[in-house]
Amino acid sequence: MKNLFNKKNICIIVGVLITYGVLFGLISAKVINSYYKGIITFALINVILAVSLNLIVGFTGQLCLGHAGFMSIGAYVSAIITQKAHMPFVASILIGAVVACILAALVGYPTLKLTGDYFAITTLAFCQIIQIVIMNIDTVGGARGLTGIPTKTTFTVAFIFMVASIVIIKNIINSSQGRAMLSIRENEIAAESMGINALKYKMMAFIIAAFFAGLAGGLYAHYSGYIKPDLFDFNKSIDYLTFVVFGGMGSLSGSIISAIMLTFLPELLRGMGDFRMVIYPLALILLMIFRPEGLFGDKEISLKIFGKLIPSKKSDDREEA
């Protein structure tokens, strides 16, 4: 608290750098082939999506079913900007994210005023509308998709954006604004009675979540070089929600680990053919039976736990960041 460079933060920074160094080294040395490199990069992007969705669903308690919609906005806007306006890649994905923010504000303002399921239904509808609209715009390829996007997202870029997203969202949660969001999740009436403008903080959480979803969309578009509306349909929104629920609503470490696990799991199960369609859902069902609150509940991994496991050794958990 008093010092930004206290022991804990240094441990985290070292942990993040080691993780990055090891992965980067393995990729450069071609120990990790480009197929797995792709999956790792997607996992990093999924972490951004899971963590940002957790901010609105897990920490603020507002069920959002349209995260993929905001991702698609970020993806399309940034792709078009780099393709047509030839703007720098980072600028274009930031613009994409800002556009996602603006749309989130327009959708959020009327619906977050209400309590109940309206917000979930509206975001679900929003995701569908965006998909249909994109399908019907020929200049962005319609249902065929948009091809030839410069592939500028590298492992390093995705890693930096992921760490930045986690740090920003973690800092927001551990602040007065974050406490306001948590209090709304816990009891909206009591929160308002303690002087908290619930609408303002719900909007704030939703807009920030949309920003990072847009950012993730931009990274995705510039990694795969090809996007189509189907990639951002309702099922994708549910996938991201699964990351959040699996990891634990209200746990950032949970979201990070579950996003990585659930990105790799289907790939690792690929060898099992059709059985993977059974094993993946089975894993989810078992988790929900035995740990309905998700892997981590609303707890975070703390360095203390690692300290107990491996005394006097710096832990390699960028999850803590």
Q: Which spans of this chain sit near another protein (rule: CB under 8 A)?
A: 1-2, 4, 168, 171-172, 175-180, 182-183, 186-187, 189-198, 204, 250, 298
Which structure tokens are listed for 277? Answer: 């369609």
Task: Check: CB of residue 301 under 8 Å from CB of residue 166.
Answer: no
In terms of DSSP H, where are the helices of 115-154?
118-135
Least distance to another protein, CB of residue 317, Å: 20
Please say which residue, 192 or 316, places its beta carbon nearer to another protein.
192
* DSSP code, position 81: I
Place of tokens 């797995």: 36
Least distance to another protein, CB of residue 69, Å: 24
Please say which residue, 136 or 171, places its beta carbon nearer to another protein.
171
Task: Check: CB of residue 231 under 8 Å from CB of residue 134.
Answer: no
Please say which residue, 54 or 263, places its beta carbon nearer to another protein.
54
Least distance to another protein, CB of residue 101, Å: 13
Q: Of 228, 221, 46, 71, give the one whose Cα is nearest residue 150.
A: 221
Please say which residue, 180 or 301, places its beta carbon nearer to another protein.
180
Please say which residue, 183 or 237, places its beta carbon nearer to another protein.
183
Least distance to another protein, CB of residue 193, Å: 5
Q: Give residues with Cβ within 8 angstroms of 167, minimum separation 6.
A: 321
Least distance to another protein, CB of residue 161, Å: 15
Least distance to another protein, CB of residue 174, Å: 8
Please say which residue, 147 or 171, places its beta carbon nearer to another protein.
171
* DSSP code, position 225: S
How many Å apart are CA 18 and CA 10, to the nearest integer? 12
Supply the DSSP string of 58-91, one letter for each residue.
IIS------HHHHHHHHHHHHHHIIIII---HHH
